[in-house]
Amino acid sequence: MKKIIIKYIYPIAMVLALLMLIGCEDWLDINEDPNNPTSVPVSQLLTSVEVDLAGSMGSSIGGLSGYTSNCVHQMFQRGNTHQFYDLQGTDFEVNTPWNIMYSRLLTGARQIITLGTENEGNEDWHYIGIVQIMKAYTFSVLVDIWGDVPFEEANQGAELRMPSYDSGQNIYPELFQLIDDGIANLQKTSRLSPGTDDIIYQGDLDKWTKFAKTLKLKMYNQLRLVQDVSAEVGALLGDESQLIGPDDDFEFPYGASIAPMNRNPGYQQEYTPGGSYFYINPYFYEILMGQNSFFPVEGNPYEGIVDPRVPYYFYNQLAPGQDAENPTAYRNGDFVSVYMFSYNIDPNEGFDQASSQTVAGLYPLGGRYDDGNGGIASFNGAGDTPQRMLTYFSRLYTQAELALTGVTSQDASQLLEDAIQASYDKVNEVASMAGAPTIKQTVIDDYITDVMDLYDASDVDGKLRHIMTQKWIASYGFAVDAYTDYRRTGYPLLHNGNTDNLDITVQTRDYPVSFPWKSTDLAVNQNAPTQKNITLFKVFWDAN
């Protein structure tokens, strides 16, 4: 029977093909495949660019917050790369965000700018302005993390396959101009206005302008050690209503849906059955718990003060008194982790603790609020905590730093107090969205009073330590700026594996002051530099 069917398939197919040729004699003239369009509407490209921006910055293993959280001792993975700063140009933590930003994000941004301006009088100015601001933000992060990067010759496609690496010092002024161009384009009349196409601000151009100006403030603060920025900062602070406010945070929203999956990628990673990717750094945990059990040199500036954000920051899988599944390296109550700098040294460091280790909680990733009852971390949390990138509270911490260091005449003490309050407001915002308890204002007031008493009793350097340490605590979930802040100010003080009171930790490498370049790019690009020494190659604004 099969042979009979096969026998007649070919004649029938030939007849059908002949009929198609007769009926469509000009079919060979078709030069557009409807299934493979040669152009994409700028509205669809904008959505893609925003998704890639959040992904490249996020707290999952492919985002910059993943490894920078290790650099600022918040979260880390077991292994040499994370525990001993042994970052290489071939590592996933280097290649993934670099690829996302250059191959997708910045390519999409270039397409939007090109498509939006190619028809005279029919431009999509609002899309162009938004993308110019995001492009400036992306390149500012690339410079802050890598130092010298492709800029002028980047993303030219086949026209220029071997871009030169530009000096970060030369790139920064171009970014300020790009931001100004973006702001100007938001003020123009546009044939289309981004609404649902804009996931971040839903087409609110005023908020995009506030983000752009706050981005400039952040960048000027990063320049303050190598350039007099008082005039530029003063101009931005002349009308603070034009900066990010409590309802204007630059962040990417996520949902709680599983099918289709639109939860925070960090949540998807950490709450997948089988164990999380990151360990919480015990040093970070003890700072928040007011303890100082193993880092006598650094000391805890808040010893004896328990931070009320702890149950929002960390989720303990163990119930009170419950045994861990294996011998533990670090256990503090029901909190379970491993020490940094202990890889292949601590005899208990390598045991599987998938259902025992403490994981990132509700605030950073949308995980579970810790009610003290324990339970396996799985897909049982909200998962919809946004990916923060530039917030109101971080703006206030920036202003506090600028005031303390003499760039402005504002009140650094009041700005620090306002920043701490704003950081707590953000935690309560996330908690309310997830239906979790919020932190009472009386509890927040007590914590602020304790911190401000310590601040007021400190000298100028001690005051800077408090500002930067509080900003570091608030940054949990987005460590990119914390990594920049540490290199610029030296704060917060970080755990040193060679000066603690542990015999199971050894810090074998110096601190990475920049990321290595992607090795494969260096190998094929004759215009690329040779690989750097990441313990010596500083970003241009790093005067420490």
Kindly indicate the confidence band of residue 293, based on its pLDDT and cuts at 50, 70 and 90.
Answer: very high
Kindly indicate the confidence band of residue 120, based on its pLDDT and cuts at 50, 70 and 90.
Answer: low
DSSP sequence for 157-193: GGG-SSPPEEPHHHHHHHHHHHHHHHHHHHTS--SS-
- CA–CA distance, 466 with 474 (Å, rounded to integer): 12
What is the average pLDDT score of the chain? 91
Please tell me whether the peptide bond between 492 and the residue prior to it is cis, using omega within 30 degrees of 0. yes
Q: Which residues contact 307 (CB under 8 A, 6 or more apart)?
A: 288, 289, 290, 447, 473
And the tokens for 102?
Answer: 């250059």
Selection from 57, 64, 189, 204 nearest residue 130 by Cα: 204
- CA–CA distance, 181 with 175 (Å, rounded to integer): 10
Q: Which residues contact 220 (CB under 8 A, 6 or more apart)?
A: 229, 232, 233, 236
DSSP sequence for 115-127: HHHSSTT---HHH
Helical segments of 33-124, H only: 42-57, 64-71, 80-83, 92-99, 106-117
Which pLDDT belongs to residue 157? 74
What's the pTM value of the predicted model, to 2 decimals?
0.92
At 86-114, the pLDDT tens digits run 999 999 999 999 999 999 999 999 999 99
Q: Are strands 330-332 and 387-390 parallel, antiparallel or unpaired?
A: unpaired
pLDDT at 486 over 90: yes
Mean pLDDT of 370-396: 93
At 430-479, the pLDDT tens digits run 999 999 999 999 999 999 999 999 999 999 999 999 999 999 999 999 99
Which pLDDT belongs to residue 5? 37
Selection from 314, 316, 311, 333 nearest residue 439 by Cα: 311
Instruction: Give CB contacts under 8 A, 24+ apart, made by 205-208.
Output: 205/126, 205/129, 207/248, 208/129, 208/130, 208/133, 208/182
Angle at 493 between CA 453 and CA 292, to 5 degrees: 70
Q: Roughly how many angstroms between the first and final C-alpha of the chain, as a whole number?
A: 83
Helical segments of 147-281, H only: 168-186, 205-223, 230-237, 265-270
- What is the homologous superfamily of the domain 283-489 according to CATH? SusD-like, tetratrico peptide repeats domain (1.20.120.840)
Please tell me whether the peptide bond between 260 and the residue prior to it is cis, using omega within 30 degrees of 0. yes
pLDDT at 10 over 80: no
Domain regions of the chain by residue span: 42-203+510-524, 283-489
Kindly report the length of the chain: 544
Q: Is residue 81 within 8 Å of residue 88, measured between CB atoms?
A: yes
CATH number of 42-203+510-524: 1.25.40.390
Chain mean position to CA 533: 24
At 396-413, the pLDDT tens digits run 999 999 999 999 999 999
At 194-236, the pLDDT tens digits run 888 999 999 999 999 999 999 999 999 999 999 999 999 999 9
Query: Tell me, what DSSP letter sits at residue 102?
Result: I
pLDDT at 315 over 70: yes
For residue 250, what is the enclosing H or E element? strand 250-252
Angle at 38 between CA 25 and CA 196, to 5 degrees: 130
- CA–CA distance, 309 with 332 (Å, rounded to integer): 17
Q: Which residues contact 108 (CB under 8 A, 6 or more apart)?
A: 45, 48, 49, 52
